[in-house]
């Protein structure tokens, strides 16, 4: 999900880009890991030799948000309260849709009725959120 110019820049540096589907699966797998486990993110190279586990399509995805996991969110505040950027929520929805439908998806409409304020963000406890998916035909959720 980079521009052709950025893709060319990475290629010139000898950096292979991750295939979109493999990136989605790796991202979701990381979200499903225990928050107590250590997370290691390795950037670069194809994932041809990584055996991704087959799993059934989820009906919900859980997200854990805390300062330890997403420290940069501390800089996203309104009236001294940490809030989740709408762009981040859109990303979650798109990735959840890709996982559920197994391919490229598009978001037809998105409306923010009320923002997500993270009241326990700095407490060390963090907060859990869940995206619930409902199938609406063969190509919509």
Per-residue pLDDT of the chain (141 residues; tens, 9 = 90+): 677 887 888 788 777 887 888 878 877 777 776 555 565 655 555 555 444 444 456 677 888 888 888 899 999 999 889 999 999 999 988 888 887 777 788 888 889 999 999 988 888 888 898 888 777 766 666
Residues 51-86 as b or e (16 or more Cβ within 10 Å = b) = eeeeeeeeeebebebbbeebeebeeeeeeeebbbee
Q: Which of 105, 55, 112, 40 is nearest to 78 (CA)?
A: 112
Task: Note the pLDDT of residue 53.
Answer: 44
Angle value at C-alpha 70, between 64 and 75, nearest 5 degrees: 130
Task: Note the pLDDT of residue 41.
Answer: 59
Write out the two tokens for 32.
Answer: 């499903």
Phi and psi at residue 107, to the nearest 5°: -95, 120
Domains of the chain as residue ranges with CATH: 4-46+57-132 (3.10.129)
- pTM for the full predicted model: 0.55
Task: Note the pLDDT of residue 54.
Answer: 43
Pairing of strands 60-65, 77-78: unpaired
């Amino acid at each position: 999900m980079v521009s052709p110019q950025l893709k060319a820049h990475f290629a010139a540096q000898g950096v292979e880009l991750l295939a979109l589907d493999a990136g989605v699966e790796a991202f979701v797998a990381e979200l499903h890991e225990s928050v107590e486990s250590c997370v290691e993110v390795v950037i670069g190279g194809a994932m041809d030799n990584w055996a991704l586990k087959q799993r059934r399509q989820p009906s919900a995805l859980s997200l854990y948000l805390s300062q330890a996991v997403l420290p940069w969110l501390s800089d996203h505040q309104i009236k001294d309260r940490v809030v989740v950027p709408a762009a981040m929520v859109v990303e979650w929805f798109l990735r959840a849709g890709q996982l559920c439908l197994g391919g490229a998806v598009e978001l037809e409409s998105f409306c923010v009725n009320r923002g997500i304020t993270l009241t326990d963000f700095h407490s060390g406890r963090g907060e859990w959120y869940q995206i619930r998916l409902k199938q609406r035909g063969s190509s919509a959720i």
